[in-house]
Structure 1
């Protein structure tokens, strides 16, 4: 409707200018100066109208909850069923898919560039050191969901891998007991994926609050969004090497990080001895590791944040009130998490001009 109105404005201006030119042929007394001024005014308005029409056209390419309503109306139910089947095979599907979505969006936008396999000519995002710990079950979830979607004739090669990952992420959260939120769709898949693009983009276990805020601010997200998204660690897991510095040789004065609950530290040392198999991983929420809830924040209040970047959310006075609130109010947390996930899903979205729909999620067309 807006586009139609803008076009009508353009048409009216064009007609006025055209009529003005006809008048000039009959009005010998119209000065050339006045003629130029009138023509200039109309031209400026026409340019503004064209710009508005162009901006609106770009806006219509933006994300929408109903993007696939006519293209592939059953896409969300197809993906959800594929996700359910995958979860039945292994619970790791849940944290793996969630983490995959985050790592994808943070680096170069939500464009499934994290899915691309490296070649002899290109080292892709997934092979950057910060991404080597991404569990294969997350990638497998997207690949299987893509196959299920493409098995439907009307949907084949019409749904992006980026959108499939977005839907699957919402579903693993919900199927783990977390909130169900409407997802915005219409992303195209990225055309590049390089390991070098990951450098310095992802949060690290040792990060303090200033560094965390800086990373999320660069994505257009707030401190509250960051604290909410950190709540996904309620179903997260980590390899021992990612936090071993907190339980072994922390400092000259203490072998254990003093902000870490002593009893919890002892449990971690038992689960992660110094000669532990590097493949061993443990849950980040010691109370309800298989359920998406607000226990993560209650854990922080007890000094049971696995990473420094977790525990700092409670030890720093800037975020402590938010942690305390969400530790006792799961409804508020779910609302904040859902909102933050929608905002994260808008980061670096590709369109038809700088992306495409991949035939295979792990390779460029």
Structure 2
């Protein structure tokens, strides 16, 4: 009987370990044998895209961010409308602003040619985000991999879960807490606004009639305000874009935080990190402004933390052959 018990115990342990392996256990060597060149393939496609689109790196980071905040990091933001899916692309935070889908498709095509049916679209977004930051002069990190792609999407979730540029720090903090991210993660990940562009409609509320006061946002530097009013005239074209970082627009550095200290944050959600009285975020902004290496190490860790939000692993989900649609649809 004792030997039998040992066999049963071993079987139970084996089943338990198998369960662990299929439950959100991402690792950096997931494709080491099945698609060893995955990172260089992704980086190569992005480098080509950057030659004609300086914004693409920031856009790809944003796609990963907007994906992870809705149903977890599952590639759901990439799905087009279908009989069973209301696309997250049409949600308010994404419509006419989320971009880079064509580059994701190019990456997927390159990977399917090299290692068909292996790399998920959700993992492509995670790898592309790291490559984009690195190519812009930012930190590198070991991307944890093994996500699978969702067969569903949530347009309603995208409308409610993704932080908005118009929200208060309190509301945004709640949205980060809801997905298991800390205040440090919030400040670090906001630093992605050190490169890329934003449309006038995302900050023009600060320029003329802030919160119904009839005056501009008092936390906006007056010189910067005048510049932005020229770029975005009242009742003008809301889709015109301007740099998120007025100092080094296409470089990933810590100038974003010194901009906040000088009241030169572009979005309300940016400036509130520093200008909200008594906020715990102020000391973190100061820390990241004074040390780029501190910002870089925290940003890398926060990207890993974000990439760990509710991934599908093991036998859950699927590996899409086309990132725009569920297999067989």
* Fold agreement, TM-score > 0.5: yes
1:200 maps to 2:160: yes
Deviation at 1:17, TM superposition (A): 8.2
Aligned-partner Cα distance in 2 for 1:150–1:122: 24
Deviation at 1:208, TM superposition (A): 1.9
Alignment-derived partner of residue 112 in structure 1: 75
Considering only aligned residues, what root-mean-square deviation do their CA atoms show, in Å? 1.9
Aligned-partner Cα distance in 1 for 2:96–2:58: 12
What aligned pairs does 1:83-98 form with structure 2 within 5 A after superposition?
83-98=46-61
Aligned-partner Cα distance in 2 for 1:17–1:72: 38
1:54 maps to 2:43: no
Partner of 1:282: helix, strand, or coil?
A: strand
TM-score, normalised to structure 1's length? 0.84
Deviation at 1:253, TM superposition (A): 5.1
Q: Which moved more, 1:334-343 or 1:69-78?
A: 69-78
Checking the alignment, whether the CA contact within 8 Å between 2:30 and 2:145 is kept in structure 1 is yes
Deviation at 1:197, TM superposition (A): 2.6
Alignment deviations for residues 166-221 of structure 1 (CA, whole Å, 9 cap, x no partner): 11110010101101111011111111013123231011112222212211111111
Partner of 1:71: helix, strand, or coil?
A: coil
Q: Which has the higher helix share?
A: 1
Partner of 1:178: helix, strand, or coil?
A: coil
Q: Structure 1 residues 258, 52: CA separation in 2 closer, same or farther (over 3 Å shift)?
A: farther
Q: Structure 1 residues 120, 335: CA separation in 2 closer, same or farther (over 3 Å shift)?
A: same
1:70 maps to 2:70: no
Which residue, out of 239, 252, 262, partners 2:199? 239
Runs of 4+ in 1 over 6 A off after TM superposition: none
Q: Structure 1 residues 210, 54: CA separation in 2 closer, same or farther (over 3 Å shift)?
A: farther
Deviation at 1:52, TM superposition (A): 4.5
Checking the alignment, whether the CA contact within 8 Å between 2:118 and 2:319 is kept in structure 1 is yes
Aligned-partner Cα distance in 1 for 2:101–2:14: 40
Which residue, out of 233, 237, 250, partners 2:210? 250
Checking the alignment, whether the CA contact within 8 Å between 2:55 and 2:250 is kept in structure 1 is no
Q: Which moved more, 1:271-280 or 1:290-299?
A: 271-280
Q: Which has the higher contact order (CA 8 A, sep 6+)?
A: 2
Q: Structure 1 residues 162, 254: CA separation in 2 closer, same or farther (over 3 Å shift)?
A: same
Aligned-partner Cα distance in 1 for 2:211–2:305: 39
Q: Structure 1 residues 210, 149: CA separation in 2 closer, same or farther (over 3 Å shift)?
A: same
Query: How many pairs does the alignment contain?
Result: 323
Checking the alignment, whether the CA contact within 8 Å between 2:138 and 2:253 is kept in structure 1 is yes
1:353 maps to 2:315: yes
1:328 maps to 2:290: yes
Larger Rg belongs to? 1
Q: Which moved more, 1:275-284 or 1:314-323?
A: 275-284
Deviation at 1:131, TM superposition (A): 1.1
Aligned-partner Cα distance in 2 for 1:146–1:70: 18
Deviation at 1:51, TM superposition (A): 5.7
Partner of 1:64: helix, strand, or coil?
A: coil
Aligned-partner Cα distance in 1 for 2:16–2:5: 24
Ranges in structure 2 where 5+ consecutive residues have no aligned partner: none
Which residue, out of 182, 187, 194, partners 2:147? 187
What aligned pairs does 1:16-165 form with structure 2 within 5 A after superposition?
16=5, 52-61=13-22, 62-119=25-82, 122-136=85-99, 138-152=100-114, 155-165=115-125
